[in-house]
Amino acid sequence: MAHLPPEIRTHILNAAREAWPDDFEMQKYTLEHQTNAYFKLLSLYSRLEKNETTHAIFSRAEAAWKHDYEMRLYEVTHQLEALEALYTRPDHASPQTPKAPAAIIEAIKIRACTEWPGDYEMQHHTLEGQLEAYRKVEAFKDTHARDSAAQSVITMALSEWPDDYEMQLHTIEEQMSALKELANYRAPNVPVNVLVQIRQKAVEEWPDDFAMQLHTIENQVNAWRALNAT
């Protein structure tokens, strides 16, 4: 078995002694596990195709965890797994849900690369989250095709967040929840004519935003109650 370079062993031991100054068992444990991770990193690097991407992954891990080979191994392994997932299995749609069009996947990838340059784990996380949201938005469109209120919500969500499917989904869910609350809204002890006036004003101010209508109504009702408290 190959021997650990003396300078590497010294760095590991110094870190172990600093972390566990009076615990020789933990120092030994740390040395063994860090040594194991060091050789796994060497083996992994030797098996990989050498290119700019793999070099960047290893360099980034080294910069973040200079003498912590376990964390470097963890970082490199997860980045490589994410990189493979990005380009070999980008859409995990089930048989019941259609896959996203290639153009959608590519657009999400480009955005993820821009937001997280060099971080393939976060790129993959972004891709998966956006694709899941895309499928849910598409399913919502299909199931609410004849619902005029839902259609106005969809229009607003797509207009505000044309390239962000997670925010589209968040907007749709928030607006539909507010719409349901508006339909069931009651204001005990508030005169009917006052509540009608408040609701009309909220609709005039926020004709297509049910969340803001609800927010406005609640604030106005609370203010009216405070002004008319006995």
Same-domain pairing of 78 and 47? yes
Domain boundary among 72, 87, 102: 87
What digits encode the pLDDT tens for the residues 76-92? 998 898 888 887 765 65
Question: Do residue 62 and residue 34 come from a single domain?
Answer: yes
pLDDT score of 3: 84
Same domain, 173 and 201: no
* Same domain flag for 103 and 68: no
Claim to verify: residue 154 and residue 67 sit in the same structural domain: no
Question: Average pLDDT of the chain?
Answer: 91
> Are both 105 and 170 inside the same structural domain?
yes
Q: What angle do CA 42, 47, 51 make, to 5 degrees?
A: 95
- Do both 179 and 127 map to the same domain? yes
The number of distinct structural domains making up the chain is 3
Question: Last residue of a domain, which of 27, 60, 87?
Answer: 87
Question: What's the rounded Cα separation, in Å, for the pair 175 and 214?
Answer: 10
CA angle 59, 74, 78 (to 5 degrees): 85
pLDDT of 92: 55
Torsions phi, psi for 220 (to 5 deg): -70, -40
Assess contact for 131 and 101: CB atoms under 8 A.
Answer: no
Q: Could you read off the pLDDT of 26-41 as tens digits, one per residue?
A: 999 999 999 999 999 9
Note the pTM of the prediction, 2 decimals: 0.71
The answer to whether 92 touches 128, Cβ cutoff 8 Å, is: yes
Domain residues for the domain of 167 are 89-184
For the chain, 230 residues long, the average pLDDT of each consecutive 10-residue run is 85 94 95 94 87 87 92 92 78 58 91 92 94 95 94 96 96 98 95 97 96 98 93
pLDDT of residue 89: 61
pLDDT number for residue 229: 87
Last residue of a domain, one of 38, 57, 87: 87
